[in-house]
Homo-oligomer: A and B are copies of this chain.
Amino acid sequence: MLVTLKQIAEELGISITTVSKALKEYPDVSKKTRKLVRETASLLNYKPNAFAVNLRTKESKTIGLIIPEIVHHFFSSVIKGIISQAEKKGYLVITLQSNESYELEKKQLNLLLSKRVDGILISLANETADFKHLTEITEQETPLVMFDKIAKVVKCSKVIIDDRKAAYKATAHLISIGCTRIAHFRGPLLPQNSIDRFLGYKQALTDHNITYDASLVYLLKDMSFEEGAFYAKQLLKDHNDVDGIFINTDLVAIGAISALTQMGIKIPDQINVVGFSNWFMSSVISPSLTTINQPGFQMGKKAFKILYKQIKDKKKNKGITYKEHILETDLIIRDSTKQ
């Protein structure tokens, strides 16, 4: 059984208050008694009773994290970044998975609030189109930081990449190597990042005097390898003149490359492919995939750092200032596009 302060007090024949003070190194307890208490506590294997919510400081030293999907290389990298940074600052992280469901996300936010977490980190579900559950949190002054999949209208700190700029860079690269019929496999309609990637693609075409053709844009649902293979085949049926594809995420791009290769299409000679995320498999497949590097681990670290500052500011009754932090992304040129 866990040893209590009372047991230490009984063991030594002193009061519980003295034991408690001694363990906190209060100077009104003699050095000798403090040493004795420390030694007895260690001997009995006493663990300080840190109730998750400290009744005095009202801090739980835990934060909540809601993520759409854990089994996903980008998101598990973000989780790792958050957890590693939180641990350095003495915070624990409660992780929940929304499964891209709006209802679950709402329920989980309330659950975390009821557990009195000191702050919340969230990446939104694809389904989420109403943001009342989020504005409620900021109105209650619970520190909240959104990352990756955010809602622009909610006033809170955000850690993102510039998806539009990155997508522009990816598309402009295809244009610079001579592509003129460029398809785009876009993400679902709702999340801001798939909208922004689509807009970046479109803008790059316009800026380079290439007419935007809506029939070259394919809407992904589950963003799987299989979907990449499926739409690659569909694309070839629909447009035999396509010379480049910009794809919302690497896993789908790898599916597309696999299907194109099986159909005897030469990559990059006939079709150039650019992905997005820089999944670790992208550098090792053949041909290796040109892609945008999306820094998951750094995003997690940064999101925690901003949340931590907000928690500290709140404690000092400082007003919260919202920050939008944009992480840099690079285009990594590999063998799936012409040199």
Q: Give the residue name and chain of the B residue nearest to A55 (CB).
A: B51
Q: Is the CB of B93 within 8 A of A95?
A: yes
- Complex: chain B residue closest to A108, CB-CB: B87
Min CB distance A318 to B, Å, is 15
Question: Per-residue CB proximity of A75-108 to B under 8 Å, as 1/0?
Answer: 0110110011001000011111100000000000
Chain B nearest Cβ from A57, distance in angstroms:
13
Q: Which of B92, B225, B281, B285 contacts A115 (CB 8 A)?
A: B92
Q: Are B52 and A116 in contact (CB under 8 A)?
A: yes
- How far does the Cβ of A322 sit from chain B's closest Cβ, in whole Å? 18
- The interface centre, meaning the residue of A110, A136, A262, A281 with most chain B CB atoms within 10 A of its CB, is A281
Known: A51-B51, A87-B96, A95-B95. A71 touches B62 (CB 8 A): no
Give chain A interface residues in 23-71, CB to chain B under 8 Å.
45, 47-53, 55, 60, 62, 70-71
**Which B residues are CB-close (under 8 A) to A153?**
none
**Would you call A321 an interface residue if the criterion is a C-beta within 8 Å of the partner chain's C-beta atoms?**
no
Copies in the complex: 2
Assuming the A-B contacts A77-B71, A87-B96, A116-B51, are A225 and B284 also in contact, with contact meaning beta carbons closer than 8 angstroms in the complex? yes
Q: How far is the CB of A223 from chain B (nearest CB, A)?
A: 13
- Residues of A in contact with B, size category: 35 or more
What residues of chain B lie closer than 8 Å to A94, measured between beta carbons?
A: 62, 92-94
Any chain B CB within 8 A of the CB of A1? yes
Complex Cα–Cα for A109 and B255 (A):
41
Instruction: Determine if A155 is an interface residue (Cβ-Cβ < 8 Å).
Output: no
- Cβ contact of A52, chosen from B45, B51, B72, B261, cutoff 8 A: B51
Q: From residue A65, how far is it (CB to closest CB) to chain B in Å?
A: 9
Report the Cα distance A97→B262, complex, angstroms: 40
A79 (CB) vs chain B CBs: closest residue = B70
Complex Cα–Cα for A281 and B71 (A): 13
Q: How far is the CB of A104 from chain B (nearest CB, A)?
A: 9
Chain B positions within 8 Å of A55 at CB level: 51
CB-contact partner of A80 in B50, B70, B114, under 8 A: B70
| A127 CB to nearest chain B CB (Å) | 18
Asked if A305 is an interface residue, CB under 8 A from chain B, the answer is: no
CB pairs A–B below 8 angstroms (24 shown): A1-B141, A2-B142, A45-B140, A47-B114, A50-B114, A51-B51, A51-B53, A51-B55, A51-B116, A52-B60, A52-B62, A62-B94, A62-B115, A70-B76, A70-B80, A72-B76, A80-B97, A83-B96, A84-B97, A94-B94, A95-B95, A226-B284, A254-B284, A281-B281
7 A-B pairs closest in CB distance = A52-B52, A51-B53, A71-B76, A70-B80, A50-B114, A76-B76, A92-B94
